[in-house]
Amino acid sequence: MKGKTKQLKKCESCNGLGEERGVFDWLVCMTCKGLGEVLETGEALTDEQIIDGLRAKNRYLQYVIRETRKHTDHLQQQLDNFIRHR
């Protein structure tokens, strides 16, 4: 995969929020381009690296949701069985 994850550190400009308080509104942090993380050198990732990273994070979260659902279904079955056999 291109742009494989490099070591990142929290963006100090926005304290990892990806946004900064402007005069009237919250603005996308220009230092990290809104990611909240920068390279060890303090530079922002390229747009492609940010997109790849977000895509990978999204895949991971979808996996977590699927696994959590399976686990919840299993617990619900156990609870149903328990109630049925009391």
Q: Which two tokens stand for residue 6?
A: 């490099």
Q: Tell me how far, at minimum, the Cβ of 60 lies from Zn ion, in Å.
A: 22
**Three-state DSSP class for residue 26:** strand
Residues near Zn ion (CB under 5 A) are: 11, 13-14, 29, 31-32
DSSP symbol at 10: E
Closer residue to Zn ion (CB): 47 or 82: 47
Closer residue to Zn ion (CB): 13 or 52: 13
Q: Tell me how far, at minimum, the Cβ of 67 lies from Zn ion, in Å.
A: 31
Would you say 44 and 54 are in contact if contact means Cβ atoms under 8 Å apart? no
